[in-house]
Amino acid sequence: MHIRISRDELYSGVGPIQAVVETKRSLPILSHLLLEASSNRLSVFGTDLDVGVRKRLDGEVLKEGSIALSARKLYEIIRELPAATVELNVDADLTATITCGKSEFRMKGLPRDDFPSMRESKEGGILLERRLFRDMIRRTVFAVSSDQTRYTLNGILFRVTQKDAKMVATDGHRLAITTHDGDLLKDRKPVEAIIPRKAATEALKLLKEEPGEVEIEAGENHLLLSSDNTLIDARLIEGQFPNYEQVIPTMATKQVTIDRDALLAGLRRTSTIIGERTIPTTMEFKPGQLLLSCVNLDLGEARERLDVEYQQEEMTVGFNARYILDFLSVVEAGQVTMHLQDALSPALFRAKDDKRYTCVIMPMRI
Amino acid sequence: MHIRISRDELYSGVGPIQAVVETKRSLPILSHLLLEASSNRLSVFGTDLDVGVRKRLDGEVLKEGSIALSARKLYEIIRELPAATVELNVDADLTATITCGKSEFRMKGLPRDDFPSMRESKEGGILLERRLFRDMIRRTVFAVSSDQTRYTLNGILFRVTQKDAKMVATDGHRLAITTHDGDLLKDRKPVEAIIPRKAATEALKLLKEEPGEVEIEAGENHLLLSSDNTLIDARLIEGQFPNYEQVIPTMATKQVTIDRDALLAGLRRTSTIIGERTIPTTMEFKPGQLLLSCVNLDLGEARERLDVEYQQEEMTVGFNARYILDFLSVVEAGQVTMHLQDALSPALFRAKDDKRYTCVIMPMRI
């Protein structure tokens, strides 16, 4: 194998992929990146067996071939190289020589046979606007459960039908659901997949925010995401996602409209008094006013007064403020609405006049 | 106690001081900040018993008094407050009420009697340009030893005589010494103090880079640094700093001049191949050329070729590259010089044509 490639192009591939690779794995090959050169492309591939990522980079291939090199070391070397042409030459002994300007490195590699294989796209998948796909992840991933005993909740449900695409995540205390209306299937099979948290967060990092599309192909246990020169291969969570629709309240009789920034700042302030323990934040609704308060017996108390649009009877509900902050931090709207029934029923949070994104949050007893 | 103060002024005091305070100390009072209001000044004081810091802030004192409040909580609250006037009111029960806009916080405090006292400046000290004092610390602090058994090396020697001011630090493998010529004493007593690393790094953070002076008063076991509204009280390391002058080589017969940026970049690159262990970097001097190389039996090797000004006989020396990188990172000059004797004698590093700052680095066997 022998290639010439610009340092910046190489860095754009090795940088993001080495971040996926786990260096502390017991299997040494998994701390490596597989480099493969063929037909003027260098492909860089890394995997932790749950998430695999491959990028195809432009370069001049003088001799085809492949080698697996330490991800961490390769990354550290390329990061320090000047913006010039890098030459990578692998001898029959699997020793790679990297030269760039007046610098030269020699590293021992491993053969490609030892490397796990990457799935390839078979029949092509559905197409979704990349920024929309990213937004759907951002709006749900925080609600993914960390409870290992509730395995099917450790990911985001991604469901595409004839009429819409949905992502849903819940940890039993709150649920986030976002919907995109429109037929994405166009003769493809419907998708129903639970994407693990790591795959979802890696996709957020790897898929650029720029306009463009992502192609999504769901296999039996795997999801392939491809976009530009990047292919992500995510092992899916097997099992049945719970029936979430029954959790979404339909009886909410009270509605409040609140300035998003004011609620965010107010909750951040009252939350400063919360220590390590989970203490409820009390929301006291009065006509035209919302009083936030938080009492920590060890530290003290915090109060905040907000002007809100509310004209119904007074009511008091307690929440885990962090759940509301998570919702507010991914909403861009200037105003948000809360739909409430009583102090024990789940509350529904939305951006004002937008039913495509909903957070359901269970109250806390106060 | 009852004061009014702008949020930004209060934040400028509480922010840097809470960073000095250790929250995990066994003595609960040390995780607090002491606030004292008198004659239209609010003084904020925090200490970990080794380093104490006090700032005097401008505010409107409605009622004099004092209280000790949790450093962490106070900081978190003030950080989230809007840029408006903060009112702090302490009742007889030592409960502090902080109000700002529509926010209100109540925190229980501790009495000032429980708080360690801060030394006050007695007769005034010597005056040094603040940026110069900061530079002297920056140029030496990295060489301070972390070896707890060599207690007197755990700080920077600060010595002021009739003719100059010096800072010196060494860990036995390298030594950094910086000198400022000029009479700073002006009838004051000479200074000889070993400033612990933490006090030195806190001084770097707390003393602004802007022009101005710092007043330095050395007591028996303490050093007081005052600058603008900030007073730092550092407990000094007791004992005798070793005689460092004998370490500085005087026999160096060979001299090399190297571009600072090129050497920095070259060593950063060859250092990528160094793993967890300490591996020497070989410097091979030839007429007009310097070859850097590093061999890690587990990972591979790195080589770098630099053009240098050198016309003497060929020689090869090994160094811990990190020590040279530490030196280069605090030198602003475009070119640096190395003065060498042989492969076993200490080498001397300087900015070209500048004898006021010297690093002496012991070679490593290769």
Residue B26 has pLDDT above 80, yes or no: no
Q: Which helix (H) or strand (E) holds B348?
A: strand B347-351
With 0-12 / 13-18 / 19 or more C-beta atoms within 10 angstroms meaning exposed / middle / buried, residue A207 is buried
Interface membership of B86 toward A (CB under 8 Å)? no
- Contact across the interface for A76 and B300, Cβ inside 8 Å: no
Distance separating alpha carbons of residues A107 and B300, to the nearest angstrom:
4
B301 chain-A contacts, CB cut-off 8 A = 105-106
* Fold that domain A126-235 belongs to in CATH: DNA Polymerase III; Chain A, domain 2 (3.10.150)
How are the residues of chain A apportioned to helix, strand and coil, as percentages rounded to the nearest 5? 20, 45, 35
Residue A68 has pLDDT above 80, yes or no: yes
B210 vs B238, residue with greater confidence: B238
How confident is the model at residue B186, as a pLDDT?
Answer: 83
Residues of A in contact with B82 (CB under 8 A): 265
Of B332, B323, B246, whose CA–CA distance to B283 is shortest?
Answer: B323
Q: Would you state the pLDDT for residue B121?
A: 77
Q: Which helix (H) or strand (E) holds A68?
A: strand A65-70
**How many Å apart are CA A135 and CA B305, to the nearest integer?**
48
* b/e sequence A153-179, b meaning 16+ C-beta within 10 Å: bbbbbbbbeeeebbbbbbbebbbbbbb
ipTM strictly over 0.95? no
Fold of B248-361: DNA Polymerase III; Chain A, domain 2 (3.10.150)
A81: nearest Cα among A14, A31, A160: A14
Q: How confident is the model at residue B299 (pLDDT cuts 50, 70, 90)?
A: confident
The per-residue pLDDT for range A199-243, each reduced to its tens digit, is: 999 999 999 888 999 999 988 899 999 998 999 999 999 999 999
Q: Do B108 and A304 touch (CB under 8 A)?
A: no
Q: Give the residue from A145, A139, A188, A185 showing the smallest Cα distance to A165.
A: A185
User: Are the C-beta atoms of B346 and B363 separated by less than 8 Å?
Assistant: yes
Beta strands per DSSP E along B182-299? 191-196, 213-218, 222-227, 230-235, 254-259, 281-286, 289-296
Task: Name the residue facing B305 among A80, A102, A107 (closest C-beta).
Answer: A102
In terms of DSSP bridges, do strands A51-58 and A41-47 run parallel, antiparallel, or are they unpaired?
antiparallel
Nearest to A70 among B77, B268, B299 (CB): B299
Q: How wide is the angle at C-alpha A133 spanned by C-alphas A129 and A135, nearest 5°? A: 115
CB-CB: which of A108, A265, A302 is closest to B300? A108
d(CA A21, CA A160): 30
* A99 and A81 Cβ atoms separated by less than 8 Å: no
Residue B81 and residue A269: Cβ atoms within 8 Å? yes
pLDDT in tens, B179-215: 999 888 888 889 999 999 999 999 999 998 889 999 9
pLDDT tens figures, A115-162: 998 888 777 889 999 999 999 999 999 999 999 999 999 999 999 999
How much is the pLDDT for A318?
A: 98
CATH number of A2-114: 3.10.150.10
Quote the pLDDT of residue A23.
Answer: 67
- pLDDT for the residue numbered B282: 98
Question: Which residues have a Cβ under 8 Å from the Cβ of B353 and sit 6 or more positions away?
Answer: none
Rounded to the nearest angstrom, the gap between the alpha carbon of residue A117 and the centroid of all alpha carbons in its chain is 24
Is some CB atom of chain B closer than 8 A to the CB atom of A80? Answer: yes
Say whether pLDDT at B25 is over 70. no
Q: Determine which of B72, B76, B103, B282 to mutate to test the interface with A (most A C-beta atoms within 10 Å).
A: B103
A positions 89-148 inside 8 Å of B (CB): 95, 102-108
Nearest to B363 by CA among B245, B204, B252, B199: B252
Report the pLDDT value the prediction gives residue A75, as an integer from 0 to 100: 96
CB contact under 8 A, A82 and B266: no
> What's the pLDDT score for residue A27?
84
Query: Could you tell me the pLDDT band of residue A252, with boundaries at 50, 70 and 90?
Result: confident
Phi, psi of A183 (to 5 degrees): -85, 110
Q: Is the pLDDT of residue B123 over 80?
A: no
Q: Cβ–Cβ of B272/A73 closer than 8 Å? A: yes
β-partners of residue A5 are A86
B-chain residue closest to A109, CA distance: B299
In chain A, CATH 3.10.150.10 covers: 2-114, 126-235, 248-361
Task: For residue B196, give every residue at least 6 positions away whose Cβ sits within 8 Å of its Cβ, in sequence order, or none.
Answer: B50, B51, B154, B155, B234, B235, B236, B237
In the prediction, which pLDDT does A278 show? Answer: 87
For every residue of A309-354, DSSP letters joined together read B--S--EEEEE-HHHHHHHHHT---SEEEEEE--TTS-EEEEETT-
Q: What value does the mean pLDDT take over residues B234-243?
A: 95
DSSP letter for each residue of A268-300? HHHHTT--SS--PEEEEEETTEEEEEEEETTTE
